[in-house]
Structure 1
Amino acid sequence: MNQVMGDGIMALFGAPLAHEDHAVRACYAALRMQEAVGRYAEDLRRSQGLTVQIRIGLNSGEVVVRSVGSDLHMDYTAVGQTTHLAARMEQLAPPGSTLLTSATLRLAEGFVHVKPLGPVPVKGLESPVEIYALAGAGPARRRLDAAAARGLTPFVGRAPEIQALRHAREEARDGHGQIVAVVGEPGVGKSRLFWEFTRSHLTHGWLVLESGSVSYGKATVYLPVIDLLKAYFKIQDKDDPREIREKVTGKLLTLDRSLEPTLTAFLTLMGLPVDDPGWQALDPRQRRERTHEAVKRLVLRESQVQPLCLVFEDLHWIDSETQLLLDSLVESLPTARLLLLVNYRPEYRHDWGSRTCYAQLRIDPLPREDAGELLRALVGEDASLEPLGRLLIDRTEGNPFFLEECLRTLVETRVLVGERGAYRLAKPLPGIQVPATVEAVLAARIDRLSPEDKRLLQCAAVIGKDVPFPLLATIAEMPDEGLRRGLARLQAGEFLYETTLFPEPEYTFKHALTHEVVYRGLLHERRKGLHARVVEGIERLAGERVAEHAESLARHAVRAEVWDKGVDYLREAAMGAWARGAVQESLERSEQALEALVRLPATPENVRRAVDVRWTLYWPLFALGQMSRLAHVLREADQLAREIADRGRLGHISVMIGVGSMMNGRYPVALAAGREALDIATALGDRELAARSTYLMAVSHLALGDFRSAIDGLSRLVDGPDADRARRAAGMFGSLYEATCCWLALCWAERGEFARASAYAERAIQAVDAADVPQAQAFAYNFRAIVFMLKGEFAQALPWIERAVRLCETKGLLALLWMTSITHGWILAWSGRCAEALQVLDRGITFQEGTERKFFVPLTYAAAAEAFLLGGRPEEARRAADRALELALETGERPREALALHVLGEIAAAERPPDDRAAAAFLERAGALAAELDMRPLLALCRLNLARVRRRTGGREQAEEDLRVARAMFAEMDMRFWLEQTEAERAGGAA
């Protein structure tokens, strides 16, 4: 009881120290109060004609407890929504009744009887609250009893443990008494193991007596023994003292009249008065000895009649007198037909370990396979549940109780709908919160730690689930020896365990849920201060390698509300995620940085931060094809940079705006932005900006078909004065140097200079493999494949594009998956694997159409069209080719215009019957444009296909000239596949 308020009181259960059964205690206390006041009221009514009644309100939840020191007798109070709602329950309760919320019932279900009253509006709350009237105590005394009333879940695993119990049973049956101790954390299934064993065929012919301690039972001596004896004597709660006396006396004397001297001890244990002067004359020590002797004699005598199995559960809550009795009983075990089964948590200690009749079974959480079996039995095998199963097993780490309670929470919140064994996911999968029942168990264990160990555990929780020793030492502010002793105690209590020893010790929380409960138990200001110390600790320990810890630093800085560092580290984390190919993660970190920026004042330094964060957003937005949002972000960055007149940043923003324009197919705008940025770079002497500007303009020239200008610009970044800078400058897919090598390879391949193209492609491969950046590797492998493919070397192209696609799939490189899928399909089609090609192409086009990009998209559709044609899907081929031509004309991508015209010519020639006039027209236009752009491989292909058309239409002389030119060009460019095709065509014509 912590407050007296007029004619009312407020009492806290589970605060300031948590109890896992706090709600049950509160309900029992309320029932006992109503009973006591009822008896008192009846006396008042009879003696004075007065009526006295009380009303009680119960609620459960988190509270903030104030003014609690080391002396728990000092004043303290609880504040918050939880206490407000409890007070409202009391005000709503009719006199003589107790009302409770669903939050309390959820924790006490099975332990009490209630009457539902439905949803009731409560002042101060938006939604009605489900309330219940407390009607009485329920039959359950332990968590397993309550679970059994609801229906037990399937029993999975534990075969070795059952076998060990079977062996102990056989030994005990043969007169070699055994004690088996099952040790494990809360929720792993200690009680369930005993329940299954004692109700199996293995105990047929045995007398099984079960009892257990409860968390509030230490103050009641012999409570587990009394419960066990009541079961033995078949005493029920409704029995009056006379009936109890008769049952005890009759059972004892029927078993063995020599037990009559022990009758007084048993009646005393049952709480009955005894008229025995000899007993009254004994001192407490002598009574204890007589009591122990009486229980032992009864147990041993009964075991002579039939094998006896005694079950004592939860010894970690045992009272000292019961402990002494068990110690005494163990002394007599070796020659009795007695199996003593006990279970407890790791913190419990006893002295039985050296005895030959003692065996200990360690129960751990279920292995993943068994946990999966349990989960499937509970929820079913609906396909939507697979991610949920993995998440639940990861979160609970196979603890059956935690698993079941998390599942109950999901059902109660309607995330899962259906029935047991056949649930389905009805809502998007949320983060799984710690159920109140699980939190109560964990919080009670945590609050039993010493203040020093609890503070140490809280420091560890702030660091994270994984706790490096050097960092913990930095923030814990404890002497090294004290820190190590504290960690040893936390390991012994199985809160933490050591995962590595070298080069420095590292610890991890035994359970993710334990970590969460410890962390949530910290008040905001304390938590914030610890996070700030973690940031300082990581910075100090990491030194120059601080960038490697950006993700962790960002998380701690944001939670510490150190917003400037939060922004900086979030940006670092975003760039790191981008480098790993984690596009969505990069976007999320950048957006978090934008949110954190709002907390900072608008100083010039913070405006620069705001610009830089928008730079970081650029990469993932580009990769995801969100071009409209990208344009908006860049406009914001431009405006911010102009506010502080930062010409360097304005130059870089111009490049980004230019790249955005290029991605939208607006190449003249991109070129103008590149020239503007280059002017700024020249004025400022900013070589990196100059390199980026040059790259932007060169790739834009390439898209437009100005190969000469493209090669001049790109060569500066690979072989010229800007090469070193390009190697250090990060680009969209690796460094500028790596990407430039790829574009140069394409330039030379389009012009038929395949030796140069291959040389640059190989330089790109060497660079990206040395850097080992997945996005850069996939980009370079794709271009290596394209060079081989344009030359007609499809067998050499295929392994490279397969490597690129595999990287995109395994690393989640969505930005490149569409491109590599199209290239893959194109190559598969020319390799004769048309069925596979069409599947791959469908995927690539689907990815592409989900973006707003237009850059090189005409090539995508032209390549797809050719593959569709080879795969026997002419209608889709025509649609794709028409789309390619439309986009090429819209964007000015003249090389893709030529390719689209060529494919349209192939499609017309392949019609049944062939449309030779249209085919010739398309091919002539394609050839003329290819000649103008110096795209020699495409020009040679146009001449080859024109020859085929002209032979059918009677222009044999012109056809022969086309074949002669095509043959010469293919031979000069060493395009052997196409040379063979040309030779075959000539031979066919001659025949």
Structure 2
Amino acid sequence: MIAGRSGTRRRSRLYRWLMAGQVPGADDVAQLRRAMEALEAQRDTLGDQVVDVALGPLRERLDALSARTAGEQRRLVTVVFADLVDFTTLSGSLDAEDVRGIVAAYFGRWQSAITRHGGVVEKFIGDAVMAVFGLYASEEDDAQRAVRAALEMRASLRDLTAAAGLPQGVRLHMRVGIDTGDVVVSTLGERAGHEFVAVGQTVNRASRIQAAAPVDGVLISAGTHRHVRGLFSFEERPGLVLKGIEDPVDAYLVRNERPARFHIESDGSADTPTVGRERELAMLRETLDDVVEERAWRLVTIVGDAGVGKSRLAFELDRWLSERPEPAWWFRGRATRSDLHRPNALLRTVLFARIGVTETDPPATVEQAIGTAFATPFGSRAAAAARTVSTWLGLRDPEPGTDPRGLRQQATTLLAELMARISEVAPVVVLLEDVHWADDESLDWLESADEQLRSARVYVVATARPALFDRRPLWGEGRAHHVRLDLAPLGRRASRTLLDELTHHAGTLPDVVVDTVLGAADGNPFYLEELAAWLHETGVVVRRDAEWRVDLSRWEPLVVPATLRGVLQARIDALGPLDRDVAQRAAVVGRVFWDTAVAAVAGEDPADVGTVLDRLRAVGIVQERATSSFDGTREFLFAHSLLRDVAYDGVLRSRRTVDHRQAAAWLADLTERTGRGDEYAAVVADHLERGADEGAAGWYLRAARRAGSVWALQDAENLLAGALRTAPADPALRFDAHAERLLVRERRGDVDGQHADLEAMAASAADLPADEARQLRLALARSVWAFERSSYDDASAHAAQAADLARHLGADAELAAAQLAFAKARQWAFDLDGARAALTDALRTARAHGLTDVEAEALRYRSMTEVAEDDYAAALASVEAAYALNSQRGDEEAQAVTLHQSSNVLYHLGRYSEALSALIQALPLFRRTGYRYREAVTLTNAAAIALFTGQLADAGRWVTESLEIIRRLDDQEALATALGVHGQVEALLGRTASAHELFTEALTIAKEVGDHQLEVDLAALLALLMVEAGVPESAREWAGVALASMSDAHTAKDRAEALLRVHYVYRELGEVSRASALARDLAAVVADVPDDVRARASYELELAAAQIALGRSSDHVELLSRLDLEALRGCVRPEAVLATALDAGDGAALPDVAELALALLDDRTSAIGDPDLAREYLATSGREALRQRASRARAERS
């Protein structure tokens, strides 16, 4: 222990020493330049020889360092050109050795003056000097110092003349030209001494200005003048025409330097502009205008690969919106990879950011903030609304019996309603980032909020990678409020512009740099930004104070990788060892991380880690958020997820394992202490799995139950896969995971998956023979499975076994569930007595123990039993009681299921429009929750009712959609029903072959599953179809099949419709005696139809017509008295009834019958909802004949 403490202390000291940047031996160009300038300042004291000897090695060192840190680049520099006047003529009269001495002294004085003022002598040519200020590193006073050096040199010429021993009256004179501008600076490495050259128009212009200067004059360009005005006295020389310069040049002759005075500093920094996205930004702005003007919400999904510019585009929109004078409500949220399986994570961040709370705030504080947010918009409903949302967020315990699906639906609806209400005051803008990582619940909310937001001024802008469409292939498709905005990579021209902006301080980059960068970036703006940052950090582009330069010597040994991963890895590798270590530890925690978490993983002091994180933030590796999710911590995130991924990949697997366990321990401890363990269970589980810790399975299971409780089905299934993937050889744990996943898959309609989980549960239970609680769960699961497969006897047996186990264990809730399961199986097996007895038991148990969910479902099933017994009044009362209970519980899905049964009762009562309305009301909720089976059955029943109301277009569309779902679910009974409905649609349109195929397939399935009622219906439909198609033998055969099973029809209404179809068949076949016998049977059945069933009037009408058609009655007055449009709509064959009425009617009544016939045909065709289908409907022979006959009767009356 003592050694460990000592070692830690030593490491901590080294840690702080390294973090302070105290690295000895660092080569610093600026320090060398300052040392050389100091030596030059001592020349008068020390003498030329001493100074020159001392400067020699310093110049060599400076050149060597500069060769490593500089390179070809475009820079803003000040160039000085000087030349001796008429020196060639003078040198002709002097000895060569004297000429060499004079030139050497002249060059030496220039060298001293230039060096002393911080410039670099670029070259000596003959008797000319070229110097550059700002060659190695620019300073803001480069131009000023260049002019000073020139004035100093001019003043020293008198002394130089005297020292040179020139003849009497002969003096040295010079001209100086100075220009400031861009040059290309190159390192010529092949030259000894690593000399530099500056090339460009600025160099040429300085040379030409020097030639135009007066003798002993210092002439500067307008470019230089802009940097030094006010510091010197000038004489303007405008409009100079210079050789090789196309346009005239304004120049200034420097007289002298003015006394020093205050100089205002300037800052030329500017944000990098957005490049190449003008069209997209304009579209986003215009969409907001549409939202405001049309009062219609919009969801724009900006889609593109990582780094293509989605966030930058959203940022530009955000900045533009913030500059608008009009007020707006702001909601912002970002999804992270760790949020993927945290239900409602994105919605939480959006809401919490709006109300100003953090994840670690006490629940009471959060709930109070929610109440405040809802207070004004909701008025008297605010408290209830806030309570619902708080319960949904887990801030308070739900009331007993609260259904999680209903709770979730209410809460998310309230959130949408909140936005809609406040949008009345000002537009609501919701900016969401990285929704491809959003949890499924939040994505569901975005897709289903249209009902509340349709007329609201709400503008949602979400960014996503294409991976979103892997999860949601139909995201936004077919929705009027949704716009998909795809961002393509930038073209080469725009990419080059952006690169120039990102590196504009360095001037024009060398072609090798440009080509490599643009090729690696491939039009991706983020890649370009990262590559530019990499250029800076690796020293290819080096910043010194306010200026940059390029050092190709650093570029050449490095090759930019072909992918961004290589570039980002180079960025990470460019960090110091300590910084890289902290970045990697942070990457283990996640893209979003906290200083104390990293410290826990690294085993270091949080203060030390915080210092490193500040340094990482300074170089753009990470960003710090203004507020943290956890009190007492600082929250950071990697500047981009790819940076985090690369940093993470650099961690050795052996170290990752340990680090993930440390991260899991830190997060588990913190969230458990704050009561948020369930919310972060998925994140803890992920860390534990990556840490190869068997505890991951339990956390995954915990997270999955949390997800299932808020109906986040996909999240729950993903988490359960994790639980099973990491579960040790513990049969109890594996049983629980499979049992949980079975429920999820049942809700999602994954039949094969359910079967696999059920088998796995059985295998685990076999290893747990004494675990009666799990044996009970297995029996219930088997009962449900058999029930869904229409194996009702097996379902009953498993339910009975479960009930026995529940009684033995004293498990009241499980007993009620088992009794209900038994009742449901007996109901569908047409054992009404058994169903009624079991329902009575289930209701008694449920009421005794306050199990309102079971009570409501038992009441719904009792309603079904009462329908089968033709007791529609009782059935309606039972289903209304079930709906009331579900409403009290706040279970919206259970309410929708109850509406489904209400529709069934209303349908049997002949109240078709009400029945259809109930189904339409239930359908959206099933779609939102992903309950595919319920959705399919609702669509089928809606299509069946639409048949009776004549809405053939809707019926065809709904049943087609239903069949697509059912075939995937593999529910045979539901498939047979849907096929039968589809066949009826086709038959009404005269599509005999298609209808025959559908009816035949449906009948085969009905026989396999033992649905005798459906067998009767389908056989009767086939018989009628065949007789109308002119296939008498087949019609007779199917009529016989229907009659043989007629006793299996459930209700008097069902028997009446089947008998009517078969009766028509025998009439068409001319078998009068058989038809007459069926008419008598029909009369008895119709008499059993309750009076409150509207269809009874239709049956009585058809029965009266049948009696006349068979010659058993001539009371056409009774028939005509029963004729009305409402009764005809409910007839099985209204055309036959009208034809009989036309045959039997007298002259006075005939025109009225004709008008009624035409009215019925008009009514039916207008209800169809599609002109083409209407024409098909009318084209069938019976309807066409009726129309012609009625038209003639109308014409005769006219």
TM-score range, shorter chain: 0.5 to 0.7
CA 391–859 in structure 1, closer or farther in 2 if over 3 Å, else same: closer
Match of 2:688 among 557, 560, 572: 557
> What amino acid sits opposite 1:554 in the alignment?
A
1:888 counterpart = 2:1035: no
CA 861–774 in structure 1, closer or farther in 2 if over 3 Å, else same: farther
Match of 1:361 among 253, 271, 289: 271
> What amino acid sits opposite 2:700 in the alignment?
L
User: What does the per-residue CA deviation read over 1:272-326, in whole Å, with 9 as the maximum and x for residues that have no partner?
Assistant: x99943366679655548766487569999xx9999567999xxxxxxx99xxxx
CA 485–526 in structure 1, closer or farther in 2 if over 3 Å, else same: same
1:465 counterpart = 2:296: no
Counterpart position of 2:658? 529
How many residue pairs align between the two structures? 674
Match of 2:832 among 684, 707, 711: 707
CA 387–676 in structure 1, closer or farther in 2 if over 3 Å, else same: same
1:567 counterpart = 2:697: yes
CA 929–583 in structure 1, closer or farther in 2 if over 3 Å, else same: same
User: What does the per-residue CA deviation read over 1:464-492, in whole Å, with 9 as the maximum and x for residues that have no partner?
Assistant: 33447897787687777777776666555
User: What does the per-residue CA deviation read over 1:671-729, in whole Å, with 9 as the maximum and x for residues that have no partner?
Assistant: 22222222222222233432332233222212211123223324544x3213577948x
Counterpart position of 2:564? 438
What SS does structure 2 have at the residue aligned with 1:496? strand
Counterpart position of 1:670? 795
Q: Are the equivalent residues in 1 in contact too, given 2:783–2:794 (CA < 8 A)?
A: yes
What's the TM-score once normalised by structure 1's chain length? 0.56
What SS does structure 2 have at the residue aligned with 1:594? helix
CA deviation after TM superposition for structure 1 residue 641, in Å? 2.0
CA deviation after TM superposition for structure 1 residue 558, in Å? 1.4
Counterpart position of 1:596? 726
Counterpart position of 1:634? 758
User: What does the per-residue CA deviation read over 1:864-885, in whole Å, with 9 as the maximum and x for residues that have no partner?
Assistant: 4334434544433333333333
Counterpart position of 1:221? 66
User: What does the per-residue CA deviation read over 1:555-613, in whole Å, with 9 as the maximum and x for residues that have no partner?
Assistant: 222122222x322233344445555666555444433332222xx2x4xxx22112222
Q: Are the equivalent residues in 1 in contact too, given 2:803–2:818 (CA < 8 A)?
A: yes
Q: Are the equivalent residues in 1 in contact too, given 2:76–2:182 (CA < 8 A)?
A: no
> What amino acid sits opposite 1:608 in the alignment?
A
Distance 1:366 1:517 in 2: 28
Distance 2:1015 2:793 in 1: 17
Distance 1:628 1:374 in 2: 35
What's the TM-score once normalised by structure 2's chain length? 0.47
CA 809–678 in structure 1, closer or farther in 2 if over 3 Å, else same: closer
CA deviation after TM superposition for structure 1 residue 649, in Å? 1.3
For 1:448-847, list aligned pairs within 5 A: 457-467=583-593, 493-494=619-620, 495-498=622-625, 508-543=637-672, 545-563=676-694, 565-578=695-708, 585-597=715-727, 600=728, 602=729, 606-622=730-746, 630-631=754-755, 633-645=757-769, 646-717=771-842, 719-723=843-847, 727=851, 740-762=858-880, 779-780=897-898, 782-847=900-965
Distance 2:656 2:1077 in 1: 84
Any unmatched runs of 5+ in structure 1?
Answer: 1-67, 73-216, 234-247, 259-272, 314-320, 323-328, 338-352, 379-384, 410-433, 729-734
> What amino acid sits opposite 1:358 in the alignment?
G
Q: Are the equivalent residues in 2 in contact too, given 1:754–1:787 (CA < 8 A)?
A: yes
> What amino acid sits opposite 1:708 in the alignment?
D
Counterpart position of 1:56? none
CA 229–475 in structure 1, closer or farther in 2 if over 3 Å, else same: closer
CA deviation after TM superposition for structure 1 residue 941, in Å? 2.9
CA 822–574 in structure 1, closer or farther in 2 if over 3 Å, else same: farther
Distance 2:867 2:518 in 1: 59
> What amino acid sits opposite 1:801 in the alignment?
L
> What amino acid sits opposite 2:788 in the alignment?
M
CA 405–659 in structure 1, closer or farther in 2 if over 3 Å, else same: farther
CA 373–583 in structure 1, closer or farther in 2 if over 3 Å, else same: closer
Distance 1:849 1:770 in 2: 35
User: What does the per-residue CA deviation read over 1:30-70, in whole Å, with 9 as the maximum and x for residues that have no partner?
Assistant: xxxxxxxxxxxxxxxxxxxxxxxxxxxxxxxxxxxxxx999
Distance 1:470 1:778 in 2: 48
> What amino acid sits opposite 2:735 in the alignment?
V
Q: Are the equivalent residues in 1 in contact too, given 2:1015–2:1042 (CA < 8 A)?
A: no
Deviates further, 677-686 or 632-641: 632-641
CA 545–70 in structure 1, closer or farther in 2 if over 3 Å, else same: closer
CA 556–884 in structure 1, closer or farther in 2 if over 3 Å, else same: same
Distance 1:962 1:554 in 2: 68
What SS does structure 1 have at the residue aligned with 2:870? coil
Distance 2:933 2:903 in 1: 18
Distance 1:742 1:472 in 2: 55
> What amino acid sits opposite 1:796 in the alignment?
E
CA deviation after TM superposition for structure 1 residue 537, in Å? 3.9
Distance 2:914 2:958 in 1: 19
Distance 1:723 1:654 in 2: 23
What SS does structure 1 have at the residue aligned with 2:736? helix
Distance 1:444 1:825 in 2: 62
CA RMSD of aligned residues (A): 5.6
1:866 counterpart = 2:1002: no
For 1:29-68, list aligned pairs within 5 A: none
CA 865–311 in structure 1, closer or farther in 2 if over 3 Å, else same: farther
Counterpart position of 1:318? none
Distance 2:228 2:113 in 1: 31
CA deviation after TM superposition for structure 1 residue 928, in Å? 1.7
Identity of aligned residues (%): 19
Q: Are the equivalent residues in 2 in contact too, given 1:869–1:907 (CA < 8 A)?
A: yes
Q: Are the equivalent residues in 2 in contact too, given 1:822–1:860 (CA < 8 A)?
A: yes
Q: Are the equivalent residues in 2 in contact too, given 1:396–1:403 (CA < 8 A)?
A: no
Distance 1:738 1:916 in 2: 45
Distance 2:636 2:624 in 1: 5
Counterpart position of 1:93? none
Counterpart position of 2:1094? 976
Any unmatched runs of 5+ in structure 2?
Answer: 1-13, 19-61, 88-103, 122-130, 136-141, 151-176, 187-195, 198-221, 230-246, 248-262, 282-300, 309-463, 472-483, 500-516, 525-559, 1105-1121, 1123-1136, 1146-1198
1:939 counterpart = 2:1073: no
User: What does the per-residue CA deviation read over 1:409-442, in whole Å, with 9 as the maximum and x for residues that have no partner?
Assistant: 9xxxxxxxxxxxxxxxxxxxxxxxx986423433
Q: Are the equivalent residues in 1 in contact too, given 2:1056–2:1085 (CA < 8 A)?
A: yes
Distance 1:770 1:694 in 2: 23
CA 450–231 in structure 1, closer or farther in 2 if over 3 Å, else same: closer
> What amino acid sits opposite 2:915 in the alignment?
A
Q: Are the equivalent residues in 1 in contact too, given 2:823–2:838 (CA < 8 A)?
A: yes
CA 819–394 in structure 1, closer or farther in 2 if over 3 Å, else same: same
